[in-house]
Chain A
């Protein structure tokens, strides 16, 4: 089947979820939409199960942090429809005081570690996740290191002090 044009895809989404889907843009041909977290599972389910769209493949889930925005934390989904070779990017923004979002593990088993990674690095709490623990960092870490305020280098390290180098 041929690739679904972005206009067609957007029309289908608009019919089903009118007013709730905001188009962010089409960077390099990849349709990017923003939706609220209340709608996310409904939209993902619709995209996955609709007979004409069939976005059955979850490519990736990741996060992003914009400290200057009101809703600081973004969760980004990349879906792929293998039968039509169409991709879509979905963004959900959450405020720092309430970083909860429903889990996508109800739709894809593979979302498990992707969401754990997003939690590990951005502190996004996926409600209903079966095993929401840190995945790459140590369990007793308290910070969420991919947030912008987290420094690249540990400010407390002592091996780079000037007096070691006679300065």
Chain B
């Protein structure tokens, strides 16, 4: 395949060129730096430098009460922040032994699956852009906007959502939220089908992505890959199915699995996951009809921040509000690991508590950080243009990478 000699770093006649890909290169979709040694267009070696937007969340979390850590989790994977928020709430609930009502679980499932769809929309849309097809991206982005509008109805914000509270939600879903949700479920499949017909059998797209950056199941497991990347390599590990949380065991869905872990497989797995997410949301809406409509949080006044109007008008609410804010309620002196299936893989929270108002130690198992470490080794011998596509399909989010 190569007619010219490949030079190595030690070769005195080396004619390798060094390319700084990033930290702010438009093709990298985030703050990633890779110093690549290139032989023509082929990558000989590469070194990843990360940490450009490291914000010391684990340190900050040690100084904050539990309910104030939610906004930190927003800023991990900001393409699907509700999953991070819910994951954090469920970790604290597991620590405190709070049982959430079924309706809360189903509402959470809806929000988490919407977040998964919005994350996959970006990843697959951008993959299309990087292979030269802008159309699909624009078609899909319209529906991410629809998802953000649903978030707005529920929590008031769009990107860094801070959605929900420990024990449930801060307010009930309103009628507009459900109306927008139903409209989304009606409109999005049309676009997704169109998107798939645009790409799945497109000659150019398939040639650009098939067998590019293929990863075997053994390698993926050795690198602790999770999420769509691991599933594309053929391992059916999905936290939702294996360790169900938030009543995922009540839902009927399939875990799509790829064959050879290349960029094309990852694309197909993500598309199929969007279909499965929609199936889950539809089931959740049916299940919600059987639940009482006024329950949106667990009955745990010691940990659930009361609404402001009650704080001002109700003595008990005021006392609980004071105790929660001042951290005067004892918490168990133990440790807990809880993981959820984030859009990029297993998002874990390892929380060590000493009974105080803030964690003694909080560690985020961030899938992007762990998935990205294979990027430089696997780029060796790859064409530069393939490495760009590989990076888009890894879907590394800078906020989650650097925490």
Contacts and interface: CB of A to CB of B under 8 A. Distances in A.
B59 A152 contact: yes
Interface string A127-167: 00000001111100000011000101000000000000000
Contact of B50 (A62, A121, A135, A150): A135
Interface residues of B, number: 40
A110 B51 contact: no
B350 interface: yes
Interface residues of A, number: 37
Interface string B13-30: 000000000000000000
A43 to B, nearest CB: 18
Contacts of A64: 352, 360-361
B59 A60 contact: no
A46 interface: no
Chain A, interface SS category: mixed
A87 B335 CA distance: 14
Given A62-B350, A110-B373, A152-B63, A27 B56 contact: no
Residue with the greatest number of chain B CB neighbours at <10 A, chosen from A56, A85, A135:
A135
A34 B26 CA distance: 47
A87 B237 CA distance: 14
Contact of A112 (B58, B337, B373): B373
Contacts of A113: 369-370, 372-373
B221 interface: yes
Residue with the greatest number of chain A CB neighbours at <10 A, chosen from B51, B363, B402, B403:
B363
A142 to B, nearest CB: 16
A59 B224 contact: yes
A65 B94 CA distance: 23
Nearest to A65: B361
Given A59-B346, A109-B219, A111-B224, 9 more contacts: A58-B224, A62-B350, A89-B337, A113-B370, A113-B372, A136-B54, A137-B51, A146-B59, A152-B62
Interface of B: 50-51, 54, 56, 58-60, 62-63, 94, 219, 221-225, 235, 237, 242-243, 334-337, 339, 346, 348, 350, 352, 360-361, 363, 365, 369-370, 372-374, 402-403
